[in-house]
Structure 1
Amino acid sequence: MMPELRRILLDGATVEVVRDGAELVAGDGRRVGADDAVHLPPVVPSKIIAVHLNHHSRVAEFMVSLPPAPTYFHKPTSALNAHRGAVVRPPGCRYLNYEGEVAIVIGRTCRGVAPADAGKYVAGYTIANDYGLHDFRDTDAGSMLRVKGSDTLCPLGPGLVTDWDFHGKRMRTYVNGEVVQDGSTDEMTWDMHYLVADIARTITLHPGDVLLSGTPANSRPVQPGDVVEVEVDGLGRLTNHIVTGELPVRDDCGAQPTESEEVVSTAFGGDWEFRGIRPPKRGQP
């Protein structure tokens, strides 16, 4: 079994534990069932960086061509969430999409390394769900700040697996038990080590920093009450549920949620109009 480290809330304290089958074991010997534990994000990053497009199936879905090198966006650390945490869709928003991904976790300070050496700087891997609130895409299409960086939109977990080979691993996302994404790490244009080396050319990566490596095709909106799970071979299964926030987005400042063709097209995979899929207008069920 590959070593798996987790962070949980145990008797009111943040505790690092090691998974031992169905139990989590603290350094002082205390044990708790993995299904009973209150999970925290498995790492504490100083930054979270995500690649825009990487999986061949996702590129084909959007009917675009990849640039010659990856492009990225930044998710603030305030977006962090954990295994079994609630993902909040603000009132007045409709297009909250899941994106099952593999997260790379840095283990050593990393700057100016070659792709062939980048693996030496990786602590391990975990699962991410790179949620996107596409209602704000018209405003933040360049930075993706609110689209991808709003609170709770970066669940990580359940644990950090420290000895995992990213080649040939199947990735699946489920909504209410039904498979909605089915891909493989082998369909990535740029592998995990390439992404680390690319970012580290100009940005110093510190231990705990997270890089999100891209999602397969078929990211779609989810609704309050839905249970979303991301499963990756060897990394386990990350589970979250969708809830409606109590406070609406303020309307006395800033851009408001929109429902433009770009918003709807992105939320439904870039091809909704060609399949005759026209979602209900805002305010309709």
Structure 2
Amino acid sequence: MTTRETRRILLDGNPVDVVRRGDDLVAGDGRVVAIADAQHLPPVTPTKIVCVHLNYLSRVEELMTALPPAPTYFHKPVSALNSHDAAVVRPEGCKWLNYEGEVAIVIGRTCRNIAPHDAGDYIRGYTVANDYGLHDFRDTDAGSMLRVKGADTLCPIGPGVVEGWDFRGKRIRTLVNGEVRQDGSTDEMKWDMHYLVADIARTITLQPGDLLLSGTPAISRTVYPGDVVEVEVEGLGVLRNHVVSGPTPIRTDVGAQPTESEEVLSTAQGGDWEFRGVRKPLPAAH
């Protein structure tokens, strides 16, 4: 199958769409930039970012839970969008920032009330995503995931959008400082890309550029300032980011504060706090 990869970079101070040709990026006016020298931007500008809580069977087994009858979702604000080779900011006062390597579906046409077998016609392509989460806020936002998953910079995507890519049987890995932490396959997904698009589009109109994050395999763990995190998806490339500490602390005069409950620690570091001897659905897990 022939694929085509497009990226969005900052070129002479302007955001420009470019096509990848080998190790180079080529703009429409013929200017050429080496990938190694490019300053990447998010390859699309979505109106919404929808994420599935739980989809990969290895993650289900790790959490010692069971899948719900149908997918459940949460929303990341578009202000969380970030790009390849950019910094992911852990706010001062927070400790439990976890990676989640994923494949993101990129919508190509306005999409509403379609059948799963037609969903492929509405997908422009796919990109790599890292669905970072601040589990410090899990005690208060476990259902909505807003503060857990919605902080600025916590949705890097890229480096490009690949069209003509078949999502079936593809390897997905996450590496931290060069060490493999997650290693799975898209064949682990209970609900495939077409199903997810059709499910959301039953009641929510999807627009060109919108993103659907399709879930993560087992072993989501905490990363720290100074760490370099890479998500590698077969056929889509490598999304790389580095973690930095934010310069200002979480305000203490408003809102729920970061916590370190048993739930927070076991979710961030791995554990079975909620499932000891019991197997039950966990819609808010991911």
- TM norm structure 2: 0.94
Partner of 2:278 in structure 1? none
Partner of 1:114 in structure 2? 115
Once the two structures are superposed, residues 69-125 of structure 1 have per-residue CA deviations (whole angstroms, 9 ceiling, x without a partner) of 000000000000000010000111110000000000000000000001000000000
Over the matched positions of the two proteins, sequence identity in percent amounts to 76
Partner of 2:209 in structure 1? 208
For structure 2, the residue ranges without an aligned partner over 5 or more in a row are: 276-286
What root-mean-square deviation, in Å, do the aligned CA atoms of Structure 1 and Structure 2 show?
1.2
Partner of 1:67 in structure 2? 68
Partner of 2:19 in structure 1? 18
Once the two structures are superposed, residues 7-47 of structure 1 have per-residue CA deviations (whole angstroms, 9 ceiling, x without a partner) of 00000000000001000000000000111100000100000
Partner of 1:140 in structure 2? 141
Partner of 2:45 in structure 1? 44
Once the two structures are superposed, residues 108-144 of structure 1 have per-residue CA deviations (whole angstroms, 9 ceiling, x without a partner) of 0000000010000000000000000000001111110
Partner of 2:218 in structure 1? 217
What secondary structure, in the 3-state scheme, does the structure 2 residue paired with 1:193 have? helix
What secondary structure, in the 3-state scheme, does the structure 1 residue paired with 2:37 have? coil
Return the letter of the residue paired with 2:94.
C
For structure 1, the residue ranges without an aligned partner over 5 or more in a row are: 275-285
Alpha-carbon shift at residue 273 of structure 1 (Å): 10
Distance in 2 of aligned mates of 1:146 and 1:119: 32
Distance in 1 of aligned mates of 2:82 and 2:55: 23
Aligned residues: 274
Return the letter of the residue paired with 1:129.
N
Alpha-carbon shift at residue 272 of structure 1 (Å): 7.6
Partner of 2:175 in structure 1? 174
Return the letter of the residue paired with 1:44.
T
Distance in 2 of aligned mates of 1:66 and 1:269: 18
Following TM superposition, the consecutive aligned residue runs of length 4 or more in structure 1 with deviations greater than 4 angstroms are none
Alpha-carbon shift at residue 212 of structure 1 (Å): 0.1
Alpha-carbon shift at residue 271 of structure 1 (Å): 3.4
What secondary structure, in the 3-state scheme, does the structure 2 residue paired with 1:116 have? helix
Alignment of 1:247-266 (within 5 A): 247-266=248-267
Distance in 2 of aligned mates of 1:65 and 1:83: 34
Alpha-carbon shift at residue 2 of structure 1 (Å): 1.9
Given that residues 42 and 159 in structure 2 are in contact (C-alpha distance below 8 angstroms), is that contact kept between their aligned partners in structure 1? Answer: yes
- TM norm structure 1: 0.95
Alignment of 1:75-94 (within 5 A): 75-94=76-95
Partner of 1:282 in structure 2? none
Distance in 2 of aligned mates of 1:161 and 1:270: 36
